[in-house]
A and B are shown apart, each in its own frame.
Chain A
Amino acid sequence: MRLDLSLEQKEARQRFRAFVREHIAPYAGQWDRDHRVPVEAIERVRACGYLAAPHPQRQGGPLDQITYGLLTEEIGRGCSSVRSLLTVHDMVSLAIWRWGNAEVKAEFGAGTAAGAILCALALSEPQAGSDASAVAVEAVADGEGYRLTGRKKWVTFGQIADLFLVLAKCEQQPTAFLVPADAAGLTRIAMKSVVGTRASLLAELVLEGCRVPKHHLIGRIGFGLSHVIGTALDHGRYSVAWGSVGIAQACLEASVEYAEERRQFGRPIAEHQLVQRKLTEMIASTRAARLLCYHAGYLREVQDPGAAAETSLAKYFASRAAVRAANDAVQIHGANGLTEEYNVERYLRDAKVTEIIEGSTEIQQTTIPRLRFAEL
């Protein structure tokens, strides 16, 4: 067994790192304060081919799962809001590619693969979060299409997305639909009160008899949650796992830099044992999280049936590692860690999001023991 990146993967990581260093990291704090990733930044991400990077129709070919993970980590290290854009766009575009009919693929395939048509997932509702099967948005057949009525919440990048994958109840069964942002009867309302990934342009969607054509039903009636959204969330967990590694790595680097400069009691705090203990925990858990992500990535690359289970495990561990790292990073920074002058307070708020989205920590804790792993 050899655990090493290929030369191409190492070179790709360097490119991703350079891109983030120049175009994302220096601005992430301001974007967070502005509650907005600017369109220009999104366009730069799109122009580099970083949206829908693992999509089979991507120009130049899809990134392999490991390289995609490296991209996600580097983006996440710079800005979790930008990383969440990749998460939602990629998981919806891949679900469309996987389960869309020929008409849908002809209409949206190339555009979503290029990131020219921005996608978002409209799954959660005010009364349906972890219990996704409790969605209340209703879809009723109407001539040559369906009319959707209800409300969605927590739609990441919902303020600017062009296309939504919506989970609704059709004939009382969970069913997925594509809803263009300009569909009549769809209203989006900006959500401004979130404290994590603040720049991710969250929205609520109000659907009032919003009509979509028949071919916008993705998959089949009754398979919307288990297969269509299931495919999307499986990818989402992989993305969030790597994004969490990015947060943890950012916390580690920020903490080492601060601890080596900050002096108390006549010496750098990096020489104080309890700070060393925190740094050691950060190093170990970030490495461990990354290794779990590598393992999940390898299994996804070879299409091993156990990949989804390993991906859940990676997301569970990495998100908790990110929260611990961010909590300790703020502690190491002391009062400075509670100001916007340092990035660690943003890392803590963004880390907390990763424990809640794409299957909360508690859902993972009750699901993982029942999953099929190749070996425990």
Chain B
Amino acid sequence: MEDRKARIKFFLSKWFRDYQLRDDEDIFALGFVNSLLAIQLLAFLEREFGVTIEDQDLDFDNFRTLNGMDALLHRKTNVVRSPG
């Protein structure tokens, strides 16, 4: 869990530069986000963690904070790993 958040935080640091993003901080409210971040963040999460973000995952709470993104990834990876 902490490793996931650390990896996402490192990816986002390119936009946030020296700002130390907290786990529960709203990245949209901070004002660093631009229109391409959505696409690049999606590509990063999918490639880095081997998941596919689908239309039912489109909920701002899933992408608003490091905690939210970590929880989304946890749900998606656990669904993949659960026995059928």
Contact = CB atoms under 8 A, between A and B. Distances in A.
A46 B13 CA distance: 44
A304 interface: yes
Contact of B35 (A226, A303, A305): A226
Given A304-B47, A305-B43, A307-B43, A230 B58 contact: no
A308 B58 contact: no
Chain A interface category by residue count: 20 to 34
Interface residues of B, number: 21
B55 A303 contact: no
Contacts of B59: 220
Nearest to B43: A305
B39 A308 contact: yes
**Chain B interface helix/strand/loop/mixed:** helix
A208 interface: no
Nearest to A221: B58
B51 interface: no
Nearest to A100: B55
B36 A101 contact: no
Interface string A22-45: 000000000000000000000000
Interface stretch (A138-146, A283-291, A319-327, A364-372): A364-372
A308 B34 contact: no
Contact of B34 (A306, A307, A371): A371
B77 to A, nearest CB: 18
A222 B3 CA distance: 30
A220 B59 CA distance: 8
A149 B59 CA distance: 25
A218 B40 contact: no
Interface string B37-62: 11111111011100000010011100
B14 interface: yes
Contact of A367 (B15, B35, B55): B35
Interface string A275-306: 00000000000000000000000000001111
Interface of A: 99-101, 218-220, 222-223, 225-227, 230-231, 234, 303-309, 312, 367, 370-372
Interface of B: 11, 14-15, 34-44, 46-48, 55, 58-60
14 contacts: A100-B55, A220-B58, A227-B38, A227-B58, A234-B39, A305-B40, A305-B43, A305-B44, A309-B36, A367-B34, A370-B15, A371-B34, A371-B36, A372-B37
